[in-house]
Structure 1
Amino acid sequence: MSNDIGDPGHGHSPAAWTTVVIALVAISFGTLFFFLEMPLLVWLSVVLLVIAGIVGLVMTKAGYGVGGSKTTAKQH
């Protein structure tokens, strides 16, 4: 456990939260569509999952990642 208060920790950033939320939606819908036997929508969910990763990278490059220029460390 770290005692460094200035460290925001792993995943405590808008980029991480946005990526995880989009990925969870994609996986949830993909699972639902799999059980409903809708292969086209399953593959569209996979595409959305890939888009989630791209959104995370873009947001990180834009300064919304951990330690980014547009985020501030929170005191834990």
Structure 2
Amino acid sequence: MAGSSHGHTPAAWTGVTIAFIGFAVAGVFMVMAEPIGFWAGMVIVALGGVVGAAMRAAGLGQPKEAHPVHQVSATAKPAGAQG
């Protein structure tokens, strides 16, 4: 994955950062035994996914052609193949 720049886009960084903040908020309120705050944190986590997807749709994500299709070459044989 290091060679494909997986996740090195503004959309990915923004979505993950928002989701991380949501998990932190939910964790704090879970320790405080406050269900409303916990669910507010979960809403922030979901918001991170929505924002990341919206940014990707706006062209700030990795283009689809940057994801190479991994195919087994014609000369390679699967593990356990005979002859």
Moved over 4 A (4+): none
Query: RMSD of the alignment, in Å?
Result: 1.9
Q: Structure 2-normalised TM-score?
A: 0.70
Matched, 1:44 2:40: yes
Specify every segment of 5 or more residues in structure 1 that has no aligned partner in the other structure, as ranges: 69-76
CA distance in 1, matches of 2:2, 2:22: 33
In structure 2, the CA distance between the partners of 1:46 and 1:12, relative to structure 1 (3 Å rule), is same
**Residues matched between the structures, number:** 64
Following the alignment from structure 1 to structure 2, what is the Cα–Cα distance between the partners of residues 20 and 45? 14
**Structure 2: unaligned runs, 5 residues or longer:** 65-83
Residue 73 of structure 1 is matched in structure 2 by none
